[in-house]
Structure 1
Amino acid sequence: MQPVTAPVPAPSPEAPHLRSLFLLCFKVGILSFGGGLSGWLYREFVLRKRWIDEEDFSSSLAISQMLPGANVVNLVICMGEQLRGPVGALTCVLGFLVGPFFAVVGLCQLFDALSGYPLLPVISDGVAFAAMGLLIIMCIHGVRRAMRFPPSVVTIAVTAVLVGVFRLPLIPVVCVIAPVSVALAWRRI
């Protein structure tokens, strides 16, 4: 018996204001710590605000992971461009990076001052575990989506085994598997 999951609502038809994009990206950027950002962006852009649907988010995430640079920065650029064009991309990336820039400078000073306290590693671990939880939730959503098209599950499994188990380099694996995956998806259309 398959678990019953609530369908993700369709995206809102009206593009968000630039201010809304900036503030949301600023919030995620300034409050995030230790990873899990793509899960948080998924929750905000797809589930809460409904600005982007699951398919568009997954496509943007895949593209952002293939591009050079930080995946989440690439992701906010892709989503901002999709929602409001080049100005939206610039707005999202500025909102996402301006807060952390100043926070890193301040946190560096704070960590130096608190480096002798034994509670600091415990706090860092707790925040990292919460970020891992967000990442796991996003992976579960992705697997559920992939289950609708069985060849995608095989593609995911083969990639995971080749890179994760056999430790083959990611770029050559993707260069070989991506065309096969695209061909399978193309046949589906």
Structure 2
Amino acid sequence: MDGASPSPPAEEAGRQSLAALFFVFAKLGITSFGGGVSGMMHAELVVRRRWMREDEFLEGLAVSQALPGVNVANLAIWLGYRARGAGGALIALAAVILPPAVLIVLIGETLLRLSAWPVAGALLAGVAATAMGLSLAVGYRAARHAGGDLASVAILAGTIVGALVFHLSTPVLIAVFAPIGIGLAFGRSRREQG
């Protein structure tokens, strides 16, 4: 890998209440913007609360991005499930979606009026830049975690080239590179066990 120190041990799974889970995911849903949600989830659940290890979070991030649907919802389901099973998954999903939806409905008219204000564009550009920075930070962590060998780096590079140069869709990239990565990981696991 990269020689970085391992993540601190996560607290015991299931130790947090469903109410605490709802509160944390509702806070994340209301206070995070755009692609930065996964970065804020990492900061809250791995760094601050230590509800899971970094490798567990990155595993969930990879799964949530490979599945159809909204990445943030998928990640909330995964993280909630890891924390408290099926009930935790439902609570995390509801918490990350419902409070922001209610807030948007309540302040929707104000948002429409503000969007016509010239300074609002500059403010939103600043928020977008921050969200992009959070996304890149999580992407860097995931790449560092996954880039433990030459084959993983080749898959990462192939995916980037496929997306940016050839404009391949996510399903195509997953269909091409996921089986290769799974096969390599399976082979590596068998060698380690045998």
TM beyond 0.5: yes
- Give me the whole-angstrom Cα distance separating, in 2, the residues matched to 1:118 and 1:95: 33
Give the match for residue 83 of structure 1: 83
Q: How many residues align?
A: 188
Cα gap change, 1:117 to 1:163, in 2 (>3 Å):
closer
Look up the equivalent residue of 2:150 and give its one-letter code.
P
Report runs of 4+ in structure 1 exceeding 3 Å deviation: 3-7
- Give me the whole-angstrom Cα distance separating, in 1, the residues matched to 2:8 and 2:144: 16
Residue pairs, 1:1-189, within 5 angstroms: 5=4, 7-15=6-14, 16-189=16-189
- Give me the whole-angstrom Cα distance separating, in 1, the residues matched to 2:34 and 2:141: 21
Deviation at 1:163, TM superposition (A): 2.0
TM-score under structure 1 length normalisation: 0.91
1:60-117 superposed Cα distances (whole Å, 9 cap, x missing partner) = 1122112221111011011111211111011111111121111111332112232442
Cα gap change, 1:107 to 1:5, in 2 (>3 Å):
farther
Question: Structure 2: where are the runs of 5+ without partners?
Answer: 190-194
- Give me the whole-angstrom Cα distance separating, in 2, the residues matched to 1:144 and 1:177: 18
1:40-69 superposed Cα distances (whole Å, 9 cap, x missing partner) = 111111121111222221221122112221
- Give me the whole-angstrom Cα distance separating, in 1, the residues matched to 2:139 and 2:127: 19
Q: Residues 143 and 156 of structure 2 are in contact (CA less than 8 Å); yes or no, is this contact kept in structure 1?
A: no
Deviation at 1:4, TM superposition (A): 7.6
Identity of aligned residues (%): 36
Question: Structure 1: where are the runs of 5+ without partners?
Answer: none
TM-score under structure 2 length normalisation: 0.88
Cα gap change, 1:89 to 1:148, in 2 (>3 Å):
same
Deviation at 1:150, TM superposition (A): 2.7
